[in-house]
Every structure is written in structure tokens, then in C-alpha cells.
Amino acid sequence: MQFNIYLKNCREQFHLTQEQLVRELYGSDELFEGLDISTLSRWERGVTHPSVQKQMKIVSLFGSFSNSILSCFNDMNREEVENRLCKMGIKNIIGSSREHILNFPSKSFKVDDILIKHIRSNSDIDRALDMPYTVIENLTGNVYEISLDMLKSWALHPSNMFLLSEYKGHFHGLLFTLRLKPEVFKQVINFDKKIKEIEIADFANFEQMGSNIPIAFFAYNDKSSSLLILRYYAHLIANQNYIESVGTTPILDGAKKIVQKMSLKFYKEKKIKQGVISSYTAPLSEVLINENVLKMLFMKQECPEGL
């Protein structure tokens, strides 16, 4: 979606005239000093574009009208949100970490041949988890001490999102996230509770407020990685009214760079046998309203096919 379309649609959804929106923006932040109807009209027609900083303020203002983070997206399901996101914008977030994204030849790969699905959709979940578990062990040296049985029980819980990327039926990547009760999430981020100590009772149900914690990410190439992250952001946006915070405890430097691009802030570190482990966290509002995400949400040009 381009920003001018979002701006006009959202203004009309809140039954605001251009004059009323100009007045609201002018009163909300000095950044809009001098704004007039003529300028707003040009923004809505796509003749000119507000700066990224102004876009963030506009998105935040619309959010205040509905007590949502991203208004005009909060009534969409995950599939609808995903269709409106620009895959090219994802690359601003994931970067080029070769610890998590291999350089498997991708020019001959068609995006349509890459399938992103939940691991629960596999008839043989034990077999489906074999390769992901091996990848996680090799990436982290099993610092988190997560067993295969533990991973399986987490994957089967309906609140968690355990995604696999497949290319013509073969494993091509993974993204595993947990949905924890806020008080449990805080314990994990504060290192008062180890990842391996998380129990089924610690997961938040969909009707409860929860916090999201990614625990594993890996892909064979940038096409699979982009589609996995795209699905993750679509999930966050579609469920924004039930997610309080996002956080994680990355080990590798590449993972730390990715979470920083997601606007997660360093919170705490702890010494372990293998060195030092750090935790990062941020409210969902900061994860969704920032320059990188706006580039994914609102590209100036139409999003090209493929990646």
C-alpha cells in the first residue's frame, strides 16, 4: 500500500474532512506547523510525500483515534495484512546476516514456489522438527538447552507461531516465536526464568494480552528469509490489540543486529558459560511505528513482483 492511499482511506474511515485532519495534525505536533489543506491534498493524491517522521506522527495520530497502534490495519486478518505489505521493504530489517541467512542460489527460485506454513500443518511433526532442531542446535550451540520434546510441545500450542519455509517440499528456513503471558515474558527478559523453564501454563491464549518472543530464525536465502519475516510482521499487525511487547535473548551478533533493526532496545545482559547473553525488548508500538516498518508498509512505488 502506498502512503497516500492509506492517508486518504484512514481519514475517511474516521469521518474527518481534510480541514479537520489538518487541524488535528497541527495541534498534535509542531512538526506540522504551516500545514494546510493544499499540502494535505497533494499528499493524498500522491503528488508529494510527507517525510518519514511526519508519516510516523500521522500513523500515531490515527492510532489515538481508535486506541490501536496501526489504525486501519487492526480490522484485517493476517492474510489481508500480508497482502498489503511490500516484500522489498523487509530487506531493510533483516539485512544480510550470513549467520542466519545463507547465500543459497536464489536467482532461479520463484517466490511462488516457496511455501510458508505452520509446523502444526505437518502430518508427521516429529520428522518436520528434525532439521529445524538440528539447525537451532548448530546455530546456538544449544545454549538454551531446549530439548526436541520441549520444542514439539511448544510448536503444538495454538498460541505459538512455528513457521517453516519450504521450497518444492524441502526445508528452506524457519521462524519460531512464543506468545507468553506478560509477567512470564518479563521474567525471561530479566533472566529470572530460563527459556528451557517455560511451561505450557506460561503461554497466553489469544483472548489474553500476551508478549511475543522469537526464539529461532534461519533461512537458506534472502527470499525465504523475507517471506518468513513478512509473515511475522503481518501476524504482529493483525494481532496488535493483544500483544503488549516483543523481546528476545539473542546469542549471535547477526541476531542482535536484526533485533536492533526491529527497534528492540538492549535491556540486560548475563554471564553464562559460553560468554555473555543479552536481552532486548520494546513495546509493540515501537516495533510497528518506525522508519523500517513504514518502508515496508508504505513504499513510494508499487511493490515489484518477487524479491
What pLDDT shows up at residue 252?
Answer: 86
Segment 240-244 shows an average pLDDT of 95
C-alpha cell recorded at residue 160? 505459538
How confident is the model over 21-51, as pLDDT tens digits?
Answer: 999 999 999 999 999 999 999 999 999 999 9
Tell whether the model's pLDDT for residue 201 goes beyond 70.
yes
CB distance 214 to 248 below 8 Å:
yes
Question: Residue 269: its pLDDT value, please?
Answer: 95
pLDDT of residue 98: 59
- Please give the average per-residue pLDDT across 216-244, as a whole number: 92
Strand bridging mode 161-167 / 114-118: antiparallel
pLDDT tens for each residue of 105-151: 555 667 778 899 999 999 899 999 999 999 998 888 888 999 999 99
Percentage, residues of the chain above pLDDT 90: 66
Question: Per-residue DSSP letters for the chain?
Answer: --HHHHHHHHHHHTT--HHHHHHHHHHH-GGGTT--HHHHHHHHHTSS---HHHHHHHHHHHHHHHT-SSTTTTTS-HHHHHHHS-HHHHHHHHTT-TTTB-----TT--GGGEEEEEGGG-S-HHHHHHHHHHHHHHHHTTTT---HHHHHHHHHSTTSEEEEEEETTEEEEEEEEEEE-HHHHHHHHTTSS-GGG--GGGBPPTTS-EEEEEEEEEESSHHHHHHHHHHHHHHHHHTGGGEEEEEE---SHHHHHHHHHTT-EEEEEEEETTEEEEEEEEEHHHHHSSHHHHHHH--SSPPPS--
pTM for the full predicted model: 0.89
- Domains of the chain in start order, with CATH, are 3-66 (1.10.260), 78-297 (3.40.630.30)
What is the spatial distance between Cα 174 and Cα 100, in angstroms, rounded to a whole number?
Answer: 10
User: Mind listing the pLDDT tens digit for each residue in 55-71?
Assistant: 999 999 999 998 899 99
Per the CB < 8 A criterion, the answer to whether 188 and 198 are in contact is: yes
